[in-house]
Amino acid sequence: MRLLEYQGRTLLDKAGINLPEGQVVQTPEDARSAALELETSVAIKAQVPVGGRGKAGGIKIVDTPEQASTVSSDLLGSDLKGETINELLVVEAVTIEQELYLSVILDRENKRPVIIFSTSGGVDIEQIAEDKPDAIHSQEIDPLIGLRSYQIRELLYSSELNQARLRTMMNSVRRVYDCFEDYGATLVEINPFVFTSNDDLLALDSKVIIDDESRAREEIVNMLPMDQPAQNETELERRASELGLQYVELEGNIGVIGNGAGLVMSTLDVLSQRGGDPANFLDVGGGADAQLMEDSYSLVTSKSGVEGVLVNIFGGITRCDKIAQGVVDALDKSPADLPLVVRLTGTNEDAGREILNDYGIASAEPLNEAADEIIARVNN
């Protein structure tokens, strides 16, 4: 679960990391009074769960409360990288002297946290890795032993920070690591972490991801009550969880609907092996009926970039004829004219295929062929 910037700030603040002062607002009037109260130039920052807000126009620095109000009314309600801006963070604008990068990330392969540090902050870590791979330093931490002081020294060893900054940074690495551990995070990234001309170190931006298993921790629940949808969800993910469906978004162009996690995963594998590119997948679970199929189809095809749909259903409790009827009903309601291939096996499969046939919907068996069929249709 990705936290919004201001939520991450709450955790960093508790961990003793210095942050520019500021507050979250939802109206231009409140932005004006926040700026007035800060008595400095302010940065107005869109609170949406995506990176690269600066480049996309979601961060504006203004000099007066009047401008804060004008800029806020432009930003509020507008769209930033597909997300509606409902909240803004108004923070004192900082004069940056040096931009650093610091993160703690869970390396799932090695099952350990890794601390990553660079003096080339302010741009994405991927960009630093490409431009200046030597400027990235990292330390793997044994979770049972914890962070040792020598590891912090090694991390910062070649950074050429002056004595005062080095000492400040050493303390901050420990605090950021503690923050990662204490809140069950899988990522705490501060970028940029900046020094001002008085050697003050401030976290200007942060990205915090909390492990879903840590969701119930008190500090997290206080920020995000359990009955609230996680705010890192896209519109379609929210719709799916309201329907009680497992739905995940990917990058490709073929929507996938299946029943049961195992079947869905193997459908994705086969589709990829045959050269297809899944756009998303939805698990309708057991006992899917016609209505559920209809909702699922509409959800999967609502994602922009979906050019075709592959349905793979094993009929056990779920009867194939009901599934087929759902697909037909869905097409009746939204004749999207997208290529569709359905694979039905199990209970009442013949009846199911007949319904599809009568409606002119392609069915295929085995899965290899169904995958090839949808790939060919989408590429046409």
Footprint of ligand GDP on this chain (CB under 6 A)?
43, 51-54, 59, 61, 93-94, 96, 122, 192, 204-205
Question: Whose Cβ is closer to Mn ion: residue 191's or residue 280's?
Answer: 191
**In the bound complex, what is the minimum distance in angstroms from residue 19's beta carbon to ligand GDP?**
11
* Residue among 365, 366, 362 at smallest CA distance from 378: 362
**In the bound complex, what is the minimum distance in angstroms from residue 43's beta carbon to ligand GDP?**
4
**In the bound complex, what is the minimum distance in angstroms from residue 214's beta carbon to Mn ion?**
23
Tokens, residue 162 = 């002056």
Residue tagged 């400040």 (tokens): 168
237-262 burial string, b = 16+ CB within 10 Å, else e?
bebbeeeebebeebebbbbbbbbbee
Instruction: Single out the catalytic residue among 189, 237, 349, 373.
Output: 189
Is 150 one of the annotated active-site residues of the chain?
A: no
From the list ligand GDP, Mn ion, none, partner contacted by residue 93 (C-beta under 5 to 8 A by kind): ligand GDP
Instruction: Single out the catalytic residue among 6, 101, 177, 297.
Output: 101
Is 247 one of the annotated active-site residues of the chain?
A: no
**In the bound complex, what is the minimum distance in angstroms from residue 164's beta carbon to ligand GDP?**
21
Residue tagged 């940029």 (tokens): 192
Question: Whose Cβ is closer to ligand GDP: residue 203's or residue 375's?
Answer: 203
Contacts for 79 with CB less than 8 Å, ≥ 6 apart: 85
d(CA 277, CA 254): 6
Question: Whose Cβ is closer to ligand GDP: residue 8's or residue 260's?
Answer: 8
- Asked if 189 interacts with Mn ion (CB under 5 A), we say no
Cα 205 to Cα 19, 142, 297, 356, 357, distances in angstroms: 9, 27, 39, 53, 55
Cα 198 to Cα 11, 101, 251, distances in angstroms: 25, 19, 45
- Asked if 205 interacts with Mn ion (CB under 5 A), we say yes
* Residue nearest to Mn ion as judged by C-beta position: 205
Q: What are the catalytic residues?
A: 101, 189
Which residues contact Mn ion (rule: CB under 5 A)? 191, 205
